[in-house]
């Protein structure tokens, strides 16, 4: 749990306990950690506090943060979220664009349809809480005491008590000048326990690798000559897989530590139908990221890249299947892979479908797909090292 106070005291604690029959019993007290970095809300200097609360079981609980042992406010009650892997149904509400500075008077009205008891959590989908506020200043985010323009627009005193005090809020990043490691989502919503338990990274992610998979309606004589993008990132071929006499060239390319780009272009020696898919990933090595790769090409109703075994755990696997001369759907059946939508183009048909997964421990992997009838195909797979 996270909260902020003024500087009137330098010790903080959290009381918590079960809720039974609508009655809150604050039977536990734990010391809160104070962030060494001060925050400023408007002109008010504040301390930021955090306590890692571990409940003994699923159920309803209440809590009360204290500054030097005093607080006269009522204790909000909350219900634990579904355990990881649970198949029980759950409900949630979604807030769209909200928190516009200067319009916070309308925020409580948006909370009325989502009163406690109607949903188990809330999700903000983006562009919330800030406008024209420098990065690192949490003025609009969730202050109960400060008022004024561009302040407390999301969880102010009239909104938080309606829709926020008892139900967790999962925030999403907006695009109003927000960037860098001083982003308010990172400095104010310090949920490091939730991040670590979900195998995440508590930092702004850099989309530092792009992977492109291409299906070209050609044989072995008209391979891709180069790949370029609008940002000028260098691209390197992982492999080209084809059989002489088959219109079956399928290729994989990648660009490590790539800057953001809006377009990727594939170049060939002669004009030919081509289908392309590009994927972007974060959390991979920025230098020499490619671990190992494999690929095959043949004619049948089932495609397979052939196996690879990554050298370490947590590596990113990217695979593709390219189909040629037939517009039929290709169904990815490689276990654990998340497939992207198939791309198909041209009268002389070229199709490509891609997928990816993160492998927790190294063991043999292949990328594969099936289709209703036999056709020329190419398939490839590559393992990319995780960031150190």
Q: What is the DSSP string of 9-37?
A: -S-EEEEEEEEETTEE---EEEEPEEPSS
177: Cα within 13 Å, side-chain hemisphere? 9
Under 8 Å CB-to-CB from 132, ≥6 apart: which residues? 101, 150, 176, 177
Three-state SS for 114? helix
Distances (CA, A) of 29 to 43, 50, 364: 32, 13, 49
Among residues 182, 124, 177, which one has the least CA distance to residue 153? 124
pLDDT per residue of the chain (388 residues) written in tens, 0 to 9: 878 888 888 899 999 999 998 899 999 999 998 876 667 766 778 888 888 888 888 888 998 889 887 766 778 888 887 777 788 887 877 766 665 544 444 444 554 555 555 677 777 665 554 433 333 444 444 445 555 555 555 555 655 665 556 777 766 655 554 544 455 555 666 666 666 666 665 555 544 566 667 666 565 677 889 999 988 999 999 999 988 878 778 999 999 988 888 889 999 888 888 899 999 888 888 888 999 999 999 999 999 999 999 999 889 999 999 998 888 999 999 999 999 999 998 777 889 999 999 988 899 999 999 999 999 999 999 999 998 7
User: Dihedral angle at the C-alpha atoms of 134, 137, 142, 143, nearest 10 degrees?
Assistant: -120
Dist CA 327 CA 348 (whole Å): 9
Dist CA 134 CA 126 (whole Å): 17
Under 8 Å CB-to-CB from 164, ≥6 apart: which residues? 111, 122, 142, 155
Dist CA 95 CA 126 (whole Å): 8
Write phi, then psi, for 194 (nearest 5 degrees): -65, -40
Write phi, then psi, for 55 (nearest 5 degrees): -85, 145
The residue extents of the domains of the chain are: 2-197, 209-384
Three-state SS for 308? strand
């Amino acid at each position: 749990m996270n909260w902020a106070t003024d500087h009137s005291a330098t010790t903080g604690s959290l009381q918590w306990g079960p809720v039974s029959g609508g009655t809150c019993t604050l039977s536990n007290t734990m010391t809160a950690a104070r962030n060494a970095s001060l925050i400023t809300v408007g002109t008010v200097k504040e301390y930021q506090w955090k306590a890692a609360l571990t409940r003994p079981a699923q159920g309803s609980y209440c809590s009360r943060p204290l500054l030097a042992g005093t607080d006269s406010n009522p204790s909000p009650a909350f219900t634990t979220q579904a355990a990881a892997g649970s198949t029980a149904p759950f409900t949630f509400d979604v807030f769209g664009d909200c928190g516009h500075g200067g319009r916070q008077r309308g925020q409580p009205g948006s909370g009325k349809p989502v009163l406690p008891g109607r949903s188990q959590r809330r999700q903000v989908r983006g562009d919330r809480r800030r406008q024209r506020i420098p990065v690192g200043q949490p003025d609009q985010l969730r202050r109960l005491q400060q008022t004024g323009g561009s302040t407390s627009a999301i969880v102010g005193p009239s909104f938080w008590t309606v829709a926020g005090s008892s139900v967790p809020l999962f925030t999403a990043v907006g695009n109003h000048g927000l960037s860098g490691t001083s982003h308010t989502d990172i400095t104010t919503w310090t949920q490091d326990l939730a991040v670590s338990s979900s195998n995440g990274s508590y930092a702004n992610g850099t989309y530092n690798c792009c992977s492109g998979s291409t299906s070209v309606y050609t044989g072995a004589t008209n391979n891709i000559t180069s790949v370029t993008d609008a940002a000028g990132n260098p691209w390197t071929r992982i492999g080209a897989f084809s059989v002489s006499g088959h219109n079956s060239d399928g290729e994989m390319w990648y660009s490590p530590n790539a800057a953001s780009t809006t377009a990727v272009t594939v170049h060939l020696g002669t004009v030919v139908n081509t289908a392309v898919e590009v994927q972007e990933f974060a959390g991979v090595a920025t230098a020499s990221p490619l671990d190992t790769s494999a690929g095959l090409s043949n004619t049948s109703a089932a495609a397979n890249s052939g196996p690879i075994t990554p050298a370490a755990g947590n590596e990113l696997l990217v695979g593709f299947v390219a189909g040629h001369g037939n517009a039929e759907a290709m169904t990815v059946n490689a276990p654990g892979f998340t497939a992207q939508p198939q791309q198909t183009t041209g009268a002389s048909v070229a199709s490509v479908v891609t997928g990816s997964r993160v492998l927790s421990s190294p063991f043999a992997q292949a990328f594969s797909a099936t289709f209703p009838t036999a056709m020329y195909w190419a398939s490839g797979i590559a393992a990319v090292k995780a960031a150190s």
